[in-house]
A and B are shown apart, each in its own frame.
Chain A
Amino acid sequence: SAVISQKPSRDICQRGTSLTIQCQVDSQVTMMFWYRQQPGQSLTLIATANQGSEATYESGFVIDKFPISRPNLTFSTLTVSNMSPEDSSIYLCSVDLMVEAFFGQGTRLTVV
């Protein structure tokens, strides 16, 4: 199994500012995934973060808005830039071990 520590667990931010979310895994993993879960909706994959290369973004998500770092095999950050109220959501970090996905506790972001 994998234990994922994600922080902050929640934050309230002013529009126009940026927030960086950190994700720490207790084992080395090749890929880390960042998801968004908007209120009452399912999970949407934002991007896949690989160590040593640029993240791969899904359709509708761009690096300027959601820059990602992956400095080593156990850590990643996701920044939500120039925030607007539409960015209010839960952001989740995830890793795969074999076929199973493990998730952090999530970051509940409210933009006011």
Chain B
Amino acid sequence: GNSVTQMEGPVTLSEEAFLTINCTYTATGYPSLFWYVQYPGEGLQLLLKATKADDKGSNKGFEATYRKETTSFHLEKGSVQVSDSAVYFCALRSAGNNRKLIWGLGTSLAVNP
């Protein structure tokens, strides 16, 4: 079945450091891929998405590229800020009839000044 494997946290970085959070997936066909973010005390919100191979999603300085050959959708940011401290979830939605969202376990990021 479909699955998402996400880098375990917590991740602690200093401000302006480079961030990578790894995400790989297992799915048939061409799923849509997502990164959601949950800031402290807030609900989940979409950070970025990619719906086909080689697409790059980007938002708020974050980027992730849909890599079909490596079944990956790693999240990156060149220079993190304290305000990026949050929990990040990788997710996929399959292309077939069963279009449920499949979630990774989440990665907690803490950015220190």
**Chain B interface residues (CB < 8 Å from chain A):** 32, 34, 36, 42-46, 49, 51, 89, 91, 93, 99-101, 103-106
Given B32, B42, B49, B104, which contacts A105 in the complex, CB threshold below 8 Å? B42
How many chain A residues touch the partner (CB < 8 A)?
A: 14
The reply to whether B93 and A99 form a contact with Cβ atoms under 8 Å apart is yes
State A42–B89 Cα separation when bound (angstroms): 8
Candidate in B32, B45, B46, B89 with the most chain A CB atoms within 10 angstroms: B46
Q: Is A63 an interface residue (CB 8 A)?
A: no
State A105–B93 Cα separation when bound (angstroms): 22
CB distance from B34 to the nearest CB of A (A): 8
Contacts of B51 in A (CB 8 A): 99
**Chain A interface residues (CB < 8 Å from chain B):** 41-43, 45, 92, 96, 99-106
State A104–B104 Cα separation when bound (angstroms): 19
State A92–B46 Cα separation when bound (angstroms): 15
Given contacts A42-B106, A101-B91, A106-B44, 8 further A-B contacts (CB under 8 A): A41-B105, A92-B43, A96-B99, A99-B49, A100-B34, A101-B34, A102-B46, A103-B45
